[in-house]
Amino acid sequence: MEERIVFHVDFDYFYAQCEEIRDSKIKGKCVAVCIFSDRGGDSGAIATANYNARKFGVKSGIPIMLAKNKLKEEDAVFLPADFDYYSDMSSKGMEIIEKYADVFEYVGRDEAYLDVTKKTEADFHNAEHLAQQLKNEIRNNLKLTCSVGITPNKLLSKIASDYKKPDGLTTVKPEQVEEFLSPLKIREIPGIGKKTEDIFTQMNVHTIEELRRINIFDLNKIFGRKTGGYIFNSAKGIDTEIVKERPPTIQFSKIVTLKKNSKELKFLQENVMELCVQLNIIAIENNKMYRSIGIQFVNEDLSTKTKSRMLKNPVSNEDQLKKVANQLLEEALVEQVMLVRRIGVRISEFSDVEGQSSITNYF
DNA sequence: CCCTCGATCAC
DNA sequence: CCTCATATCGAGGG
Tens digits of per-residue pLDDT, A217-254? Answer: 999 999 999 999 999 999 999 999 999 999 999 999 99
- Which tens digit of pLDDT belongs to each residue from A168-210? 999 999 999 999 999 999 999 999 999 999 999 999 999 999 9
Q: Beta strands of A156-230 (E only): which ranges?
A: 169-171
Residues contacting strand B at CB < 7 A? Answer: A 60-61, 108-111, 189-197, 292, 294, 303-310
Query: Which bases in strand B are touched by protein, i.e. have an atom under 7 Å from a CB?
Result: 2-11
Annotated catalytic residue A20: no
Contact A134, A9 (CB under 8 A): yes
Give residue A362's pLDDT band: very low, low, confident or very high (50, 70, 90): very low
Enumerate the domain spans of chain A.
Answer: 15-82, 183-245, 251-362
CATH of domain A183-245: 1.10.150.20
Contact A256, A280 (CB under 8 A): no
Which fold does the domain A251-362 belong to in CATH? Answer: Dna Ligase; domain 1 (3.30.1490)
Catalytic residue among A73, A111, A209, A300: A111
CATH class of the domain whose range is A15-82 = alpha beta
A310 CB burial (10 A radius; 0-12, 13-18, 19+): exposed
Using CA atoms, how far apart are residues A58 and A198, in angstroms rounded to an integer? Answer: 22
Residue A208 β-bridge partners: none
